[in-house]
Structure 1
Amino acid sequence: MRRRTFLALPALGAAASLMDGSTALASPAVTYTNPLIAQRADPHIVRHTDGYYYLTATVPEYDRIILRRATTLQGLAGASESVIWRKHASGDMGAHIWAPEIHFINGKWYIYFAAGRSNDVWRIRMWVLENSSADPFTGTWLEKGRIVTHLDTFSLDATTFTHNGTRYLSWAQQDPAIGGNTNLYLAPMSNPWTISGTPARLSVPTLSWETVGYKVNEGPSVLIRNGKVFMTYSASATDSNYCMGMLTASASSNLMNPASWSKKQQPVFRSNAATSQYGPGHNSFTVSEDGQSDILVYHDRNYRDISGDPLNDPNRRTRIQKLYWNADGTPNFGIPVPDGATPYRFRSYNFPDRFIRQVSFRGRIDADMTNLAESQFRIVTGLAGSGTVSLESTSNPGYYLRNRNYEIWLDRNDGTTGFGNSASFTRRAGQSDSAAVSFESVSAPGRYLRHYDYVLYVQQLSTATDRADATFSLE
């Protein structure tokens, strides 16, 4: 029997109370266009208190450190780029300038990066630059020296974060006693370029997806939310096998105890042939312009096959997309979305635990959407033409929600006028909430996309419940 009462969605950005008593984090929609920047790998973006986003990344020549800034994330695409440091002509820091990160610590700017020697390019170690100017594009970048760890071995990808009053450094390093390439380590810091105490080894690449081509755990990045500390990392060779894993610890635990951390047994983010995105990884996190959405920053390529050493292929691109959250407070990365405009999710107005999705190509609303991509759609220019919109599937690009005998199905565009009309809608203000959206069918004017018994139709609306059924919030 259909439930006729409905729950209005709380204010955007709040936690929506779900019918099973759990919560899901609601936040306003954001949209960006990918790729953000061509030929920029290992991207690191921070939002500073001056209102700017700052970006640094690896350049394909591996010879310099660059910096961009803009007041919006999309603005970084066209922002002017400054070279703030170049490799040494000889000796240390003379080759393989990799994976810079920029951080503002105690009133100064710091850049962490990896570099080899001019005469031994694979003698990779971690180094730090400091700038005391309020504006990192001015002032002088001083070389503070090498980060000394417990081993004088191949080491890279330093990142820093604070938790419960302690600043930590996490990085990747080779341990000759283990025989792999790199493991993940953590240590407290006595200052921004010095670790203290004995480092903790948090992860060793042992799983099948961590050991393709090379045994690699690298590129750690930390996000602290919902009483937990999440550490993402990248694994395997830097081709299409490159992917992201995740460690999790309780925010109240001793982070220096490896037993506090658990490893996901499957990747959280990996190549996707349907969306033509390959080798996603070396991520960082930032926040949306309104501060209400977490944003995943990463690089990938839009082709699978690489000729020669992947490190010599210059076409890793910086990309961004919204990071979603499961009802249990864990992050849901979904899949690397197609190039172009990023997608949305459509949360039901009167059943806020449920989202539009497709099951066996039938449109419906469902809860517990751990398969995130099935509930993501791009709002694109309507196949029926200007003034209309179409809803394109993220997990099945080229497939659209369409009216088929007043039922909503996900079908592949066949290029006909009839399909274009049936897969097009007029976007309206939400029938129950003007801040939300409703979609009027082009092929059946006067009928709106709505759910009934959790299944999607296009129907006429006559009651308050009908109008609520036809109202969705974009996330």
Structure 2
Amino acid sequence: MNGNHELKYNCVWIPQRADPYVYRHTDGMYYFTASVPAYDQIVLRRAESLEALADAGEHTVWVKHPSGPMSEHIWAPELHYLEGKWYIYFAGGEKDDVWKIRPYVLECTDEDPITGTWTEKGKMQRADGDEFSFEAFSLDATVFENKGKYYYVWAEKVSVGKQISNLYIAEMESPYKLKTEQVLLTTPDYDWERVGFWVNEGPFVIKNGEGQLFLTYSASETGVCYCVGMLSADEDSDLLDPLSWKKSRYPVLCTDEEKGIYGPGHNCFTKLEDGTDVMVYHARTEKEIVGNPLYNPNRHAMLMKVKWEKKDGIKVPVFDYE
């Protein structure tokens, strides 16, 4: 076992790293990235195991611009390997308009994404004929593959009152352009998605290996009410048809005061060397948040083993702190 300590679950794994993301490459190496408290750069770690990632050196591969697009609020990077190249998807604002958050793409054609050169591909491009995508506050993009097609899922706000953050999906034409117009995947329907702000964000997909996929997402404001919801769909269905997706009525993971875990959310999934599925998520260890929750640095990366249970004949992921 690598690293200086045994892998522990549902406790602080990597401190002060919100929106944690782990990717296991084809060579077995693990990569980690996340939002840093200053929201001013994108960092990568690499190690042979999740245990070792906790102690791995952190490398800055990109820093925010001094002004203009990508100059403020650098959020939620994800590292993907597509078509033989590395891509980082992230969101950023502008110094003169800090809430003008839009999705951007970086590309690295070198073999090593840590020592390689990253090129800015600019704002994620919407499909020809799409007049709506990325016109408003847009963030938390993720990419997943299904049946040989790649899909882009992201959160975007619509201008109604305080604004509502919905999740949208589209098929991808290339790693930095969409092929299809946006489809509304989920909007905050339930009370647990509407605490403080009406929010659906932070999507990520896991498959059960038996023909179904599950998309987790985060809901409500950035505090103790932050929680995880889930959608499910058949892999053979039309994923661009909203009716292909079934939304869970209740959150699948939320605050547990007894465990001292508050506001779990913005998760991804990876696997241990033995194939065990692991959820990587952030949460707080204190109930009372000092200052604005967005700028309080104490959202920590944590790990949870994913349990699988049969429900109505379908193997579904179950998330608990046991």
Q: Report TM bin, short chain.
A: over 0.9
Letter in 2 for 1:277: I
Letter in 1 for 2:317: P
Whether the aligned pair in 2 keeps the contact of 1:97 and 1:116 (CA below 8 Å) is yes
Which residue among 308, 318, 321 is the counterpart of 2:291?
308
User: Does 1:32 find its partner at 2:4?
Assistant: no
Letter in 2 for 1:237: E
Give the match's secondary structure for 1:123.
strand
User: What is the CA distance between 1:282 and its match in structure 2?
Assistant: 0.1
Whether the aligned pair in 2 keeps the contact of 1:157 and 1:218 (CA below 8 Å) is yes
Equivalent positions of 1:169-184 (< 5 A) are 169-176=152-159, 180-184=163-167
Structure 2 equivalent of residue 283 of structure 1? 267
In the alignment, structure 2 segments of 5+ residues that lack a partner are 1-5, 127-131
Whether the aligned pair in 1 keeps the contact of 2:215 and 2:231 (CA below 8 Å) is yes
Give the match's secondary structure for 2:139.
strand
Structure 2 equivalent of residue 221 of structure 1? 204
Letter in 2 for 1:125: R
User: Does 1:106 find its partner at 2:83?
Assistant: yes
Which residue among 249, 252, 255 is the counterpart of 1:271?
255
User: What is the CA distance between 1:250 and its match in structure 2?
Assistant: 1.1
User: What is the CA distance between 1:32 and its match in structure 2?
Assistant: 2.8
User: What is the CA distance between 1:51 and its match in structure 2?
Assistant: 2.0
Whether the aligned pair in 2 keeps the contact of 1:73 and 1:289 (CA below 8 Å) is no
Q: 2:173, 2:13 → 1: CA distance?
A: 36
Give the match's secondary structure for 1:330.
strand
| Matched length | 306
User: Does 1:320 find its partner at 2:303?
Assistant: yes
Whether the aligned pair in 2 keeps the contact of 1:219 and 1:234 (CA below 8 Å) is yes
Cα displacement string for residues 154-188 of structure 1 (whole angstroms, at most 9, x for unaligned residues): 00001001101111000000122586431000000
Structure 1 length-normalised TM: 0.63
Cα displacement string for residues 112-154 of structure 1 (whole angstroms, at most 9, x for unaligned residues): 0000011111000000000011110122100001013423100
Q: Describe the shift of the 1:78–1:301 C-alpha distance in structure 2 as closer, same or farther (beyond 3 A).
A: same
User: Does 1:248 find its partner at 2:229?
Assistant: no
Whether the aligned pair in 1 keeps the contact of 2:101 and 2:138 (CA below 8 Å) is yes
Cα displacement string for residues 431-459 of structure 1 (whole angstroms, at most 9, x for unaligned residues): xxxxxxxxxxxxxxxxxxxxxxxxxxxxx
Q: 1:32, 1:307 → 2: CA distance?
A: 27
Root mean square deviation of aligned Cα: 1.3
Q: 1:121, 1:276 → 2: CA distance?
A: 33
Cα displacement string for residues 402-429 of structure 1 (whole angstroms, at most 9, x for unaligned residues): xxxxxxxxxxxxxxxxxxxxxxxxxxxx
User: Does 1:206 find its partner at 2:189?
Assistant: yes
User: What is the CA distance between 1:50 and its match in structure 2?
Assistant: 1.9
Letter in 2 for 1:81: E
Q: 1:206, 1:323 → 2: CA distance?
A: 26
Give the match's secondary structure for 1:310.
coil
Letter in 1 for 2:164: N
Q: 2:165, 2:84 → 1: CA distance?
A: 32
Q: 1:51, 1:167 → 2: CA distance?
A: 22
Q: 1:303, 1:211 → 2: CA distance?
A: 22
Give the match's secondary structure for 1:75.
helix
Whether the aligned pair in 1 keeps the contact of 2:7 and 2:50 (CA below 8 Å) is no
Q: Describe the shift of the 1:89–1:31 C-alpha distance in structure 2 as closer, same or farther (beyond 3 A).
A: closer
Give the match's secondary structure for 2:145.
strand
Cα displacement string for residues 49-102 of structure 1 (whole angstroms, at most 9, x for unaligned residues): 122100000000000000001101011110000000000001000000000000
Whether the aligned pair in 2 keeps the contact of 1:180 and 1:205 (CA below 8 Å) is no
> Is the radius of gyration larger for structure 1 or structure 2?
1
User: Does 1:330 find its partner at 2:316?
Assistant: yes
Structure 1 equivalent of residue 72 of structure 2? 95
Cα displacement string for residues 391-411 of structure 1 (whole angstroms, at most 9, x for unaligned residues): xxxxxxxxxxxxxxxxxxxxx
Q: 1:75, 1:42 → 2: CA distance?
A: 19
Structure 2 equivalent of residue 409 of structure 1? none
Q: 2:105, 2:124 → 1: CA distance?
A: 7
Cα displacement string for residues 380-401 of structure 1 (whole angstroms, at most 9, x for unaligned residues): xxxxxxxxxxxxxxxxxxxxxx
Structure 2 length-normalised TM: 0.92
Q: 1:55, 1:95 → 2: CA distance?
A: 21
Whether the aligned pair in 2 keeps the contact of 1:36 and 1:76 (CA below 8 Å) is no
Cα displacement string for residues 9-38 of structure 1 (whole angstroms, at most 9, x for unaligned residues): xxxxxxxxxxxxxxxxxxxxx953531111
Q: 2:170, 2:181 → 1: CA distance?
A: 7
Structure 2 equivalent of residue 77 of structure 1? 54
- Higher RCO by CA contacts (8 Å cutoff, separation 6 or greater): 2
Letter in 1 for 2:77: P
Give the match's secondary structure for 1:311.
coil
Give the match's secondary structure for 1:197.
coil
Structure 2 equivalent of residue 232 of structure 1? 216
User: What is the CA distance between 1:227 and its match in structure 2?
Assistant: 1.5
Q: 2:7, 2:310 → 1: CA distance?
A: 22
User: What is the CA distance between 1:211 and its match in structure 2?
Assistant: 0.5
Give the match's secondary structure for 2:104.
strand
Q: 1:31, 1:135 → 2: CA distance?
A: 26
Q: 1:178, 1:126 → 2: CA distance?
A: 23
Structure 1 equivalent of residue 3 of structure 2? none
Which residue among 50, 57, 66 is the counterpart of 2:34?
57
Q: 1:165, 1:148 → 2: CA distance?
A: 21
User: What is the CA distance between 1:252 and its match in structure 2?
Assistant: 1.3
Q: 1:238, 1:154 → 2: CA distance?
A: 16
Letter in 2 for 1:187: A
Q: 1:215, 1:321 → 2: CA distance?
A: 26
Structure 2 equivalent of residue 139 of structure 1? 116
Percent of aligned pairs sharing the same letter: 48
Whether the aligned pair in 1 keeps the contact of 2:7 and 2:51 (CA below 8 Å) is no
